Structure 1
Amino acid sequence: MRDTIDFGIDLGTTNSAIAVARGRSAQVVRNSTGDEFTPSAVSVSRSGAVRVGRRARDHVVADPGNACAEFKLRMGRTDQDMLFEAAGRSMSPEELSAQVLMALRGNVELTGERLETAVITVPAAFTADQTAATMKAAELAGLRSATLLQEPTAAAWAYLADADLPDKGFWLVYDFGGGTFDAAVVKIEDGEFTVVNHAGDNSLGGKRIDWALVEDVLLPAFRAAGGPSEVSPENPRTRGALAILKHLAERAKIELSVQRSTVIEEDVVVDGEAIELVHTMTRDDVDRAARPLVEASVLHCRQALSGAGLDPRDVDRVLLVGGSSQVSLVHEMLADPDRGLGIRVDRSQDPITVVARGAAIYAGTQPMPEEIRRSEPVAAGTVRLNLDHTPAGLDDDPLIGGRAESDDVADWSGWTIELHNITTNPPWTTGQVALEPDGTFRMRLRAPETTAHTFEIALRDPVGSQAPTDRATVTYDHRSGGMGPDAPHQAHTIGVGLADNTVEVLVASGATLPATGRVHGLRTTETISKSAGTGRITIPVLSGEHARADRNEVVGRLDLRPDDVVRDVPAGTEVEVELTVTKSFQIVDASAYVPYLDEEFGIQVDLRRPLLPGIDVLRAERADVGHRYAELRDQARDLDAREATERLDRFDSEGVTRNLDRLLDQAAVDQDAVATCQAALLEAQSALDEAERLLGLPRVAEEGRQAVATAQEAVTHYRARGLEAELSKVRTEMEVAIADGDQAVIERRTQEAWSIALRAIPEEHQALMEFSDYESLLGADSRPEVRRLLADGRAAIATNDLRRLEGINARLRRFAAQAAPVGRRDRTGTGPGRTFHGSTVDGDRP
């Protein structure tokens, strides 16, 4: 059995590949047709026979009801099963991915070796449910163990294996695949590399370039050739014709990465009639279609660099990964300092297979899991050696430990173990190291040179006879550089949603894994009464980077109700939350501890995504984005809010609404585009959240100045000269706070100004003003009691009965509180009464 895992798999959206470590490099394992990669496509025949790869991909075009591709984009969703119509069989995205993994395992087994474990890559932007789904696919494929590695890190392993490393510097991994985009910043120092930051988009990939080519180039050409106008993204009945056009677009895009033009000649069948499409597509066509997506990828690159505190001038080179990175426009923009990044592009590796090869190189540094090694049978009388060591590293004297096991030996006293380095000249030995009575041992090896070392193992019994062992050698590769981190980094922030719609962070994006996060000092905002059976404590666990809690994905929640507690829990009770994220990005051991009860409650982690919305829901959300944008534009103009205006201008320059409309059209016929459109709508709302946040200070400043003006009017009108000095002080302090941008001070001075205004107004006039406000707010209210109270108030004013009016105002207050509109501040979750999914947990804020 191998000492190290050695096999790396790139489970891609469009194509997948497997490679095996060969020393410090890697070799791709070709499939049965001799190709280095296998299309990530599955088809099922009428008889139930499953095919994977090129033949299945061809069926996606010819027979879309019985073939499926690009299912990686649906990983983690429970409503995305593919029905293969002829066989009547359904498969989930995890099962489809498992079929691809089984095909890759088969490629290895054609070489005579059984594959039990592998390193499998995932996009850095994959969410917790998507990584969990990848692990499930590996299990369904029969792999007994799997290690997940983020794709940019894998690519860095491949590039750095063949590169002359600088003493220090930064590289940028640009991973533009079929369905996702990742940008990762790699720091190189003292011969080692670390991924220090990343940014990405799980819905930004080459597939969207294909659809843009269909809509902008091929559909117009097809209609000009006599194709019916009803063939469009809005018509689900024409999915077969659209599938053909998309396939033609993808094929032409690939050809145009190396040539200036290509001729498309194909019969497209619609309702049984073949329409001949003949069209010359050019590289300029591809560049126009790709430009918005490439520009978006550059923005992600700049975001990754900015998050690492870097400028493009600090980066030595860009490493290209993924099939879409071969589009000529990508090379041009990355190298262009004005339109792109101005960074030298490294084209030394094949971007299609670089991730698989990098995963294999990394796998060559990872020990074979002991659970797999222990499961292998050993001959009678053979001692099993369970070793604990690092197969590769930078140490001259690496540590190795282990334990000897045998049914025939109960006490290992008197036994020794010796390791001989047969690589060095002269050979070196550890000498005989005594085993502990329980069979454990520990020693230092000597590996002084930059080379791969092999150590022969000699286990001897108390009389000095050598005993047979299940492994004769152990290896250690001493590398001078190019070693990456064993510890992965968290891709998305994990936190707790609070009652004010903010997030308290548990494990931050970029944290080294495994990581345990704890939050102390949370307080409940609602009482649980066990006797009355009322009240609830809800703690949502969220994944995402949005400031607003309700913009992030709910990955777990705890609901405590009266039956769950032993006694009443008062509002304001402290709650502590803790969870752990493993090296494979899985959320485990999530719990909440309530000191008042001295009890810990497990938080259920549910990584199943909710059902995708229908097209009508998406269109309604798109309309809301438009209305909200217009409202914020008006507010920014009225308040002369420069920063908010700049954020809205960027919203326009990024073509957000144009992209949403395109995705809505695609979502009508492409299920993957539904999820992409939903994600884009969320990002659009988040961008508007930011504009709304930037309006906060100008809005508060405007409210403060209005309060001062109202107070001045009241003081002047009612000749309240004793309040003039106090108001002047408030006005001065207000302007200073506005100049300093201190929103808290502005709000305090605003309250002081309103207090001065009220004190300046005679008491009877205050009752009149309050009733006037209620008339404006509740004038259209149809409830009989409200109508009666308003009528009574008017009557009290007519008779100048101010005492009666004050009583009417007191009763109207509760109706006014119920009818209070969601104001501008409420839209951001900071207004009164705002909760997140019924959460009654809040931060313990001063």
Structure 2
Amino acid sequence: MYIGIDLGTSNSAVSCYHRGQVDVVTMEGGDNILPSVIYMDAQGSKLYGQRAFEQMVLAPENVASGFKRLMGTSTELTLGNGHTMTPEQASSDIVRQLLGQVFKAFPDEQVEGCIVTIPAAFNQMQSEATLRATRDAGIQAVGLLQEPIAASMAAIADGELNTGLFLVYDLGGGTFDVALVQSVGGAVNVLDNLGINMLGGRDFDREILHSLVVPWLKQHFTLPDDFLKGADYQRLLRIARLATERAKIALSRSESETVFVSSDEIGTRDLRGEPVYLDVPVTRQQLRQLIEPQVDETIELCRRILAKNGYQASDVDRVLFIGGPTKTPWLAERVADQLGIVADITVDPMVAVSYGAAIYAESREWGDDGTARKSSRESVEIAEYALRYDFPSRTSRDTARLKISCAATQRDALEVQVDCTQGWTSGRQPLDGNTAIRLPVAQQGENHFRISVFAADGRPLTDASKQIVILRTHASAAGIPATQTISAKVVEMDGNIASNTLEPMVDKGTLLPAEGTKSFRAARDVKSGSNDYIALELYQHAENVNDPEQNLSVGAFRISSSDLLPGMAINKGDEIICQWRMNDSGILRVVIDVPAVGQTFDTGHLYADTDGHRNFADHDGEALLTGLLDEANAELKQADTALGKMARSDIRHIGAAIQEQRRAAERANDPEVRRGISERVRALRQDLSQLVNSPEHRATMLHGRHTDLVRAYDREIEGGNMPRDSERFRRMADSALEELKRGDEQALNDAEQILNDMDATVYDLMTERPEVVVSVFRNLSEKGATAVDAERHARLVKEGQEAVQKNDITGLKGINNQMFNNQAQHQVHAATASEIAGLMRG
């Protein structure tokens, strides 16, 4: 038996492939979906699914939901009464409930393998967390599959989309994915995918809540201005969110609905002592107006994926809708109309993903490190008669081709007949050297055929006759592509000028599993007994955004001096060989070979490092968002100053979006919402980076940066801070201007590297002033929310405070560097070697 699990943000489902058939497993109560909800009482006893969902009005503080959106972070879920869970533990509990229903339905079946689906937009930490959660639930033979691929396989299984080009529009409770998929005879090939990690039905709920329900509450009751964050009103808000979700779902069946909860159920009073209740009318038209901008954002992504791959809407046969929110009546209609592509709503959007995952699970050979596609061809040789039978052992088509080859001496001397157990026969046919017979593969699962060979005189040749089996599959996957480009941070050197960039290791679209070798060189010395190190730092590389700081850090592996054998050293320029393998679940493993010291380092599974330490709850979550938004505003201001009218419209558009996220952050009191805001802000910073680094704007931005650096340097001199080598800075400034005047791409690259070195000089000069060193320390001490090691951060803060009291500026500089390196993601400044990548291109 093979299992497919759709571990969803709002609802989960499980399907099983056994004996050639796929069944969607029924949950307790008769539904085929399980709400991804957990309730825990004061004693720690738990309820799951629908029973937990029903407790959300009675005891919302004891209910956890939406935790899929927090996978890959260190955020804890609080369930009242002092109980906490991690998102991984909660997800594992849901998987365990799904498996329990599977074993009830199929008590005598052994599990050969289990596939859990993930959004194509999931990052590496989220993928690793999903694998761990499933294994913790008791299944070790587990792999991952992108939801659009699973949905495609489910759609193809019913025969409607056996061959063609189509879009999979997958809008779930928490994420949106769009995939461009080609199918030939039931074999699915994903050409490309795009996604938004934090856009789904739960975001629609919040639009209704903040645009209709909250204003209604303010109009009818006396509430504090900040009641959205007030502890006394969190029960009200949780119940309001649940009622809003119910009303949204009801609007898929009716033109109007009411967000209603009685005052007895809410149990909260306003500032005048009046009992609070909800009785908010909502129409389908209001819902449409509220969520239309987000739906249009998904439509724009669909257009982008078509244009990127050179297709017109007329080339696409249909758009397939997956996910609960697509059941909103006008949504599928709007998407199809705007794209000009026929809508396909034939598959059940709630269970199609688990159904396709079960089909995929059966199609794989299961091993210790991932899976491989099962062989689809088989050959049988009969040496005595010089015969060879070639046929597909697996096919998703309803016919299969049997090719029979024989030696020249046997031609016209033998006859063949193929019979199927279902009654079909080919009749006797002469063998002419390369005989081909089309076999009907009528039923799903095993189809049995007998090949009978006869001599010229009609005698049956028993030794030449064979039984063959052809498995009719529901669908197959031609290849599983890597959904993201994974790149290593490297330093580019031009003389003494250093700057960081990204060097791809695994390209998006690479068919998995895949492996390869990438060579780098050490960018600094690492000697045994010192405090030096080099690190392989990996990033999820956005297209045309090469600055590491603008991309998501997904892991790092450090080789420190303590890892070297006594007396050994890695010298600058030594070769660093990275042998990588990415399995079909998208999990990367790297073995690092350093020939100069004769040592090999196995990184294991590299992910779940940096972003996994981010906590989006409480004060840490607020501080994290404040820092991200401040950085975005600083970059926006710099771009506006440099580009002015040249890009004012684009800058204002991005600026408005950043301010919208700041307003959302101010009212956010939910880790899930903060996670979503952080994703949006990162995407906006990438948009801004692409704008300022576009060919038409890059030179202007570099000119502005040059001006700012010269002014900053002059201010330091005017303030009496005398540099050691003023002439060197002036030479660099003149050289940068010369390169900017040349203006070609290589000249701009050279100018940028010179500016990085100027930046380092200014920073070094500024940190000669004790007050700047202290200011840097105070800034870093407030960044506990983004520290990789929270305990180490707290210890360094204490040491830094002692250094400030002792006026030990030299010691404080060292502490600042350690705190800086302990940040999960930080602004790369060319100030010290520790901030520059430890690798350079090979």
* TM-score after normalising by structure 1: 0.71
Distance in 2 separating the partners of 1:210 and 1:779? 49
| Aligned equivalent of 2:799 | none
Distance in 2 separating the partners of 1:23 and 1:657? 56
| Aligned equivalent of 1:803 | none
Displacement after TM superposition at 1:130 (Å) = 1.8
Q: Tell me the SS of whatever aligns to 1:698.
A: helix
| Aligned equivalent of 1:376 | none
| Aligned equivalent of 2:280 | 279
Distance in 1 separating the partners of 2:224 and 2:593? 62
CA-atom RMSD in angstroms: 4.3
Q: Tell me the SS of whatever aligns to 1:485.
A: strand
Distance in 2 separating the partners of 1:255 and 1:276? 20
Q: 1:92 aligns with which of 86, 92, 95?
A: 86
Cα shift readout 1:324-382 (whole Å, capped 9, x = no counterpart): 12234533431343xxx2322212222122212222333454468899xxxxxxxxxxx
Displacement after TM superposition at 1:49 (Å) = 2.8
Displacement after TM superposition at 1:527 (Å) = 1.8
| Aligned equivalent of 1:757 | none
Displacement after TM superposition at 1:258 (Å) = 2.7
- Is residue 199 of structure 2 the alignment partner of residue 214 of structure 1? no
Cα shift readout 1:587-620 (whole Å, capped 9, x = no counterpart): 22x1222232343222352414113243033124
Displacement after TM superposition at 1:97 (Å) = 1.7
Distance in 2 separating the partners of 1:398 and 1:649? 65
- Is residue 533 of structure 2 the alignment partner of residue 536 of structure 1? yes
Superposed counterparts of 1:661-680, under 5 Å = 661-666=663-668, 669-680=669-680
Cα shift readout 1:383-421 (whole Å, capped 9, x = no counterpart): xxxxxx96545694799xxxxxxxxxxxxxxxxxxx996
Q: 1:67 aligns with which of 63, 83, 105?
A: 63
> Where does structure 2 lack aligned partners over 5 or more consecutive residues?
370-391, 404-417, 428-435, 451-466, 492-498, 709-734, 755-760, 773-824
Superposed counterparts of 1:387-536, under 5 Å = 392-393=395-396, 396=400, 422-423=421-422, 425-426=424-425, 448-452=439-443, 453-455=446-448, 476-478=470-472, 483-485=475-477, 487-499=479-491, 500-520=499-519, 522-530=520-528, 533=530, 535-536=532-533
Displacement after TM superposition at 1:422 (Å) = 3.5
Please say if residues 155 and 161 of structure 2, whose CA atoms lie closer than 8 Å, have aligned partners that are also in contact. Answer: no
Distance in 2 separating the partners of 1:584 and 1:65? 35
Q: 2:660 aligns with which of 658, 661, 666?
A: 658
Displacement after TM superposition at 1:841 (Å) = 1.1
| Aligned equivalent of 2:632 | 625
- Is residue 107 of structure 2 the alignment partner of residue 113 of structure 1? yes
- Is residue 266 of structure 2 the alignment partner of residue 259 of structure 1? no
| Aligned equivalent of 1:841 | 839
Distance in 1 separating the partners of 2:247 and 2:105? 35
- What amino acid is the match of 1:128? Q
Displacement after TM superposition at 1:749 (Å) = 14
| Aligned equivalent of 1:547 | 546
Q: Tell me the SS of whatever aligns to 1:320.
A: strand
Cα shift readout 1:142-183 (whole Å, capped 9, x = no counterpart): 22422322110111112122244475x421111110011111
Please say if residues 737 and 743 of structure 1, whose CA atoms lie closer than 8 Å, have aligned partners that are also in contact. Answer: no
| Aligned equivalent of 2:195 | 200
Decide which structure has the larger Cα Rg and report it. 1
Report the count of equivalent residues.
673
Distance in 1 separating the partners of 2:578 and 2:752? 37
| Aligned equivalent of 1:585 | 586
- Is residue 33 of structure 2 the alignment partner of residue 31 of structure 1? no
Displacement after TM superposition at 1:582 (Å) = 0.9
Cα shift readout 1:38-63 (whole Å, capped 9, x = no counterpart): 11111123343321111101223321
Cα shift readout 1:559-606 (whole Å, capped 9, x = no counterpart): 231651442332222222222111122222x12222323432223524
Distance in 2 separating the partners of 1:556 and 1:779? 28
Q: Tell me the SS of whatever aligns to 1:275.
A: coil
Q: Tell me the SS of whatever aligns to 2:578.
A: strand
Q: Specify whether residues 603 and 611 from structure 1 end up closer, same or farther in structure 2 by C-alpha distance, changes over 3 A only.
A: same
Distance in 2 separating the partners of 1:37 and 1:47? 27
Q: Tell me the SS of whatever aligns to 1:578.
A: strand
| Aligned equivalent of 2:600 | 600
Distance in 2 separating the partners of 1:749 and 1:51? 58
Q: Specify whether residues 446 and 138 from structure 1 end up closer, same or farther in structure 2 by C-alpha distance, changes over 3 A only.
A: farther
Displacement after TM superposition at 1:684 (Å) = 2.2
Q: Specify whether residues 219 and 626 from structure 1 end up closer, same or farther in structure 2 by C-alpha distance, changes over 3 A only.
A: same
Q: Specify whether residues 495 and 390 from structure 1 end up closer, same or farther in structure 2 by C-alpha distance, changes over 3 A only.
A: farther
Distance in 2 separating the partners of 1:576 and 1:328? 54
Q: Tell me the SS of whatever aligns to 1:476.
A: strand
- What amino acid is the match of 1:113? P
Q: Tell me the SS of whatever aligns to 1:350.
A: coil
Please say if residues 232 and 238 of structure 1, whose CA atoms lie closer than 8 Å, have aligned partners that are also in contact. Answer: yes
| Aligned equivalent of 1:294 | 295
Please say if residues 4 and 16 of structure 2, whose CA atoms lie closer than 8 Å, have aligned partners that are also in contact. Answer: yes
Q: Specify whether residues 647 and 8 from structure 1 end up closer, same or farther in structure 2 by C-alpha distance, changes over 3 A only.
A: same
Displacement after TM superposition at 1:744 (Å) = 1.5
- What amino acid is the match of 1:611? R
Judge which range, 24-33 or 180-189, deviates more.
24-33
Distance in 1 separating the partners of 2:771 and 2:70? 49
Distance in 2 separating the partners of 1:779 and 1:497? 26
Q: Tell me the SS of whatever aligns to 1:97.
A: helix
- What amino acid is the match of 1:100? I
* TM-score after normalising by structure 2: 0.71
Distance in 2 separating the partners of 1:577 and 1:284? 56
| Aligned equivalent of 1:819 | none
| Aligned equivalent of 2:142 | 146
Q: Specify whether residues 744 and 21 from structure 1 end up closer, same or farther in structure 2 by C-alpha distance, changes over 3 A only.
A: same
| Aligned equivalent of 2:360 | 362
Distance in 2 separating the partners of 1:556 and 1:747? 28
Distance in 2 separating the partners of 1:699 and 1:251? 49
